[in-house]
Amino acid sequence: MKKALLIMLCMSGIANYTNAQNAIDKYLTGTNNFKVVGNASNGLLNPQDLDFEPGTNTWWVLNYEGNTGSVSIFFDADGPDQTSEFRRDSHAGHFMIRASAIAIGDNGNFATVHEIQNTNSASPTFMGPALWSTDTSIFARLEQSNWDPSTLLGSHLDMLHQSPFAMGIAHDNANA
């Protein structure tokens, strides 16, 4: 019985590998048609990552910049009525600096992570994932102050500190 189970598991793994390899082969040998749907005129400044807003035809492209970060949002992406907006939060110098990855959830929020340890804080690891709203009336629109201590610091919703040098992020559930 154990031997039969082991053989079935091995065969299952081989079948999965073969299917995955076939998909890769099709991608590598198929005919690809490339179409430019955005460029610098859409605010693409060293694009680093992109994600798709669930349930919409909206792409969010994360721009990696030295001392800040930004997003180019494409509405009706690759459609006949495509438009785009460039957004940079007033506090992106901390909350989106050197942004390396973006992940959009199905709850109206997205997170970014950053390739940096610190942005001038007493703590040596004062960076980590930042949480934002995909609501374009909030993101890079609300709380756009000039470091006024009586207001919130930009439009980010939250930030997890002590988690620097992130290279990727994925959405799982809620804000996780």
Residue type present at position 100: S
Whether residue 115 is contained in a domain is answered as: yes
In this structure, is residue 32 part of a structural domain? no
Length of the chain as a residue count: 176
- Rounded Cα gap, residues 32 and 49, in angstroms: 21
Sign of CA dihedral 84, 42, 61, 25: positive
Full domain range(s) for residue 70: 44-159
Record the pTM: 0.76
- Per-residue pLDDT tens digits for 1-33: 555 544 544 444 444 455 556 777 776 787 778
Whether residue 7 is contained in a domain is answered as no
Give the tens place of pLDDT for each residue, 70-111. Answer: 999 999 998 999 999 999 988 787 788 888 999 999 999 999
108 domain-assigned = yes
Give me Rg for the CA atoms of the chain: 20
DSSP helix/strand/coil, 157: coil
Q: Look at residue 13 and give its three-state secondary structure.
A: helix
Chain CA centroid to CA 13, Å: 31
Instruction: Flag whether 12 is in a domain.
Output: no
Domain count, the chain: 1
Tell me, yes or no, whether 9 lies in a domain: no
Show Cβ contacts of residue 117 under 8 Å, excluding neighbours closer than 6 positions: 124, 125, 127, 164, 165
Residue 161 vs residues 26, 70, 95, 121, 156: alpha-carbon distances, Å: 42, 20, 10, 11, 13
Examine residue 111 and state whether it is found in any structural domain, yes or no: yes
Q: Is residue 36 part of a domain?
A: no
pLDDT for residue 19: 55
